[in-house]
């Protein structure tokens, strides 16, 4: 009976996974179809795969206002910078909330957690007004700072939980041996916290990489990201399905590759402290 239940569970799990991945597979399949059959109905399954759509997208041979490779570079700059800024602020904040006693500590932690429920969309107009007055529209900082701020509560709470799972006796032993506070963080906390840092970094990077509304509202060309550039493949000339799906695949690839490379650290970080 248990074997049958396990088999049914696995079938349901694989069925759900295939259902979820079906749109991704369709996008990738369309991206390697010749342009003349990419919109054919019913779909054409017997075709010779081509990489021409990728050459067109990465070579700038499309009906879009900017080279898509430049937009990918913008996305990389914004994602890396916002993730680094979030970690720079989040790690000390998480350590303080986990280890240091100060008045209002519990209330501060609760307030930080409550900001996760704040919808970023409602802050677009105020941020746009402030950025316009400071002449920061269409610049990288106008995206980097909000992305870092919106990902900060997640980073702080994840790392705070991981730090609390690290036995404080290890830090006490290091302090007895004469380690300073900076030595403690550098040689004790950071190495033990690395799985959590990787997990928090990837989740924060995904939020920044996929964000569309702020990038659409606050940028024009100098700091426009790939997520906005994808929408330009639907224009007055129609929808360039081959180029659009190729651009979508290229955009998904960096996060997917990073997740596959760091999957071991990611799993360790997401399950840290789950089993004692």
Weakest-pLDDT range from 5-14, 48-57, 267-276: 267-276
Arithmetic mean of pLDDT, 75-93: 94
Q: Which residue has the higher pLDDT, 260 or 207?
A: 207
Q: What is the pTM of this model?
A: 0.85
d(CA 268, CA 104) in angstroms, rounded, equals: 31
Domain assignment of residue 79, yes or no: yes
Arithmetic mean of pLDDT, 242-262: 87
Domain assignment of residue 205, yes or no: yes
For the chain, give the mean pLDDT: 86
95: CATH: 1.10.3720.10
3-state secondary structure the chain: CHHHHHHHHHHHHHHHHHHHHHHHHHHHHHHCCCHHHCCCCCCCCCCCCCCHHHHHHHHCCCCCCCCHHHHHHHHHHHHHHHHHHHHHHHHHHHHHHHHCCCCCHHHHHHHHHHHHHCCHHHHHHHHHHHHHHCCCCCCCHHHHHHHHHHHHHHHHHHHHHHHHHCCHHHHHHHHHCCCCHHHHHHHHHHHHHHHHHHHHHHHHHHHHHHCCHHHHHHCCCCCCCHHHHHHCCEECCEECHHHHHHHHHHHHHHHHHHHHHCHHHHHHHHHCCCCC
Judged against a pLDDT cut of 60, whether residue 275 lies above it is answered with no
User: Minimal CA–CA distance to 37: which of 245, 261, 267, 268?
Assistant: 245
pLDDT value of position 140: 95
Domain assignment of residue 8, yes or no: no
Judged against a pLDDT cut of 80, whether residue 262 lies above it is answered with no
Written as six digits, the tokens of 213 are: 């509304």
Domain assignment of residue 148, yes or no: yes
Domain that holds residue 185: 70-225
Q: How many structural domains comprise the chain? A: 1
Arithmetic mean of pLDDT, 173-196: 82
User: Minimal CA–CA distance to 155: which of 108, 100, 103, 207?
Assistant: 207
Tens of pLDDT, residues 90-102: 998 998 898 888 8
């Amino acid at each position: 009976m248990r074997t049958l239940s396990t088999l049914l569970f696995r079938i349901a799990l694989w069925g759900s996974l295939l259902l979820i991945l079906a749109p991704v597979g369709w996008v990738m399949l369309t991206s390697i179809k010749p342009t003349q059959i990419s919109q054919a109905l019913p779909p054409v399954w017997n075709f010779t795969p081509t990489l021409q759509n990728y050459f067109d997208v990465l070579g700038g041979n499309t009906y879009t206002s900017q080279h898509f490779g430049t937009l990918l570079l913008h996305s990389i700059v914004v994602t890396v910078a916002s993730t680094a800024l979030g970690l720079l602020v989040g790690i000390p904040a998480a350590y303080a909330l986990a280890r240091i006693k100060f008045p209002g500590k519990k209330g501060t932690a609760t307030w930080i957690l409550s900001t996760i429920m704040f919808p970023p969309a409602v802050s677009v107009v105020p941020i746009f007004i402030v950025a316009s007055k400071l002449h920061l529209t269409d610049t990288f900082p106008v995206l980097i700072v909000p992305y870092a701020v919106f990902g900060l509560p997640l980073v702080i709470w994840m790392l705070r939980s991981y730090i609390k799972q690290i036995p404080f006796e290890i830090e006490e032993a290091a302090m007895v041996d004469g380690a300073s506070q900076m030595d403690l963080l550098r040689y004790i906390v950071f190495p033990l916290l690395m799985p959590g840092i990787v997990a928090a970094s990837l989740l924060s990077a995904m939020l920044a990489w996929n964000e569309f509304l702020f990038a659409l509202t606050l940028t024009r060309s100098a700091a426009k990201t790939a997520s906005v550039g994808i929408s330009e493949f639907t224009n007055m000339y129609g929808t360039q399905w081959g180029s659009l799906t190729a651009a979508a695949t290229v955009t998904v690839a960096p996060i997917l590759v990073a997740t596959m490379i760091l999957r071991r650290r990611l799993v360790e970080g997401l399950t840290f402290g789950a089993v004692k």
